[in-house]
């Protein structure tokens, strides 16, 4: 209730939405609104049929659909790209994705998943994975890196290929924070503790990518599932492997 009151207050504020990173958490998966001085990005689009939920969450932040300048997808799995096509229809904003996941989102069908442990195997057996979603043609396909400043957002998208998925990417904010998609998640039991994601194409490569981001001065990691994680905690967690 308090969150909704604060959201309504922001929406009514003449100064509009405040700059920053805002987590749109639907109970299991995160999308993000990145509000810059001159533009707004929505990062990830959740499961299919979540576009109106995302709209409502944005409105609580004082963000109208027409205010969204770009839709950035960290990868092409159905729980992150499922509502992308519908959200583009509502906002008119272009969809950006890494090249390696282009075929996946065109088909609207998730590639073969590689569980990293018991939880991943269990979700596959129980059919709890969004394998299909409305396919679409992205507007911008990124091989390596895309500057988001032309969209008014103080960040860049950087592809982290072949780790979580073939075309996975992160959004690196000028502040040092990283919206990292499914490179890592927070623990279900200890929300501020890093944990292995349930699926990776190449787990060892994901660990190398996380270590690179930490070494490169990353601040907070905003994952696709769970609470924000500090770089020192991720660094300590990586030492286990």
Architecture of the structural domain at 2-174: 4-Layer Sandwich (3.60)
User: pLDDT tens for residues 158-195?
Assistant: 999 999 999 999 999 999 999 999 999 999 999 899 99
pLDDT at 12 over 50: no
Cα–Cα distance measured from residue 227 to residue 50, given in angstroms and rounded to the nearest whole number:
20
Which residue blocks in the chain are alpha helix, DSSP H? 2-12, 51-60, 78-81, 84-91, 102-107, 118-125, 203-215, 231-238
CB 101 within 8 A of CB 143: no
More confident residue, 174 or 17: 174
User: pLDDT tens for residues 202-241?
Assistant: 999 999 999 999 999 999 999 999 999 999 999 999 999 9
pLDDT at 13 over 70: no
User: pLDDT tens for residues 99-147?
Assistant: 999 999 999 999 999 999 998 999 888 887 878 999 999 999 999 999 9
User: pLDDT tens for residues 87-102?
Assistant: 999 999 999 999 999 9
Is pTM beyond 0.75? Reply is yes
pLDDT at 15 over 60: no
Cα–Cα distance measured from residue 112 to residue 165, given in angstroms and rounded to the nearest whole number:
10
Confidence of residue 3 (pLDDT cuts 50, 70, 90): low
Average pLDDT, the chain: 93
Residue 11 pLDDT: 45
């Amino acid at each position: 209730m308090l969150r909704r009151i604060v959201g309504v207050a922001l929406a009514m504020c003449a100064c509009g939405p405040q700059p920053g990173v805002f987590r749109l958490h639907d109970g299991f998966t995160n999308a993000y609104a990145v509000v810059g001085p001159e533009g707004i990005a929505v990062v990830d689009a959740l499961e299919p049929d979540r576009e109106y939920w995302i709209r409502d969450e944005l409105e609580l932040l004082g963000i109208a659909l027409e205010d969204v300048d770009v839709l950035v997808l960290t990868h092409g799995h159905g729980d992150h790209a499922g509502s992308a096509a519908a959200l583009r229809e509502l906002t008119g904003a272009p969809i950006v994705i890494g090249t390696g996941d282009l075929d996946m989102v065109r088909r609207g069908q998730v590639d073969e998943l590689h569980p990293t442990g018991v939880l991943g195997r269990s979700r596959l057996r129980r059919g709890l994975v969004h394998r299909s979603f409305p396919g679409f043609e992205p507007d911008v396909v990124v091989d390596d890196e895309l500057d988001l400043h032309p969209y008014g957002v103080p960040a860049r998208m950087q592809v982290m290929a072949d780790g979580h998925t073939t075309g996975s990417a992160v959004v690196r904010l000028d502040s040092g924070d990283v919206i990292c998609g499914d490179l890592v998640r927070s623990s279900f039991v200890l929300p501020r503790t890093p944990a292995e994601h349930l699926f990776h194409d190449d787990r060892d490569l994901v660990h190398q990518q996380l270590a690179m981001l930490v070494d490169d001065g990353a601040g907070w990691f905003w994952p696709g599932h769970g609470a924000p994680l500090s770089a020192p905690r991720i660094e300590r967690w990586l030492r286990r492997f």
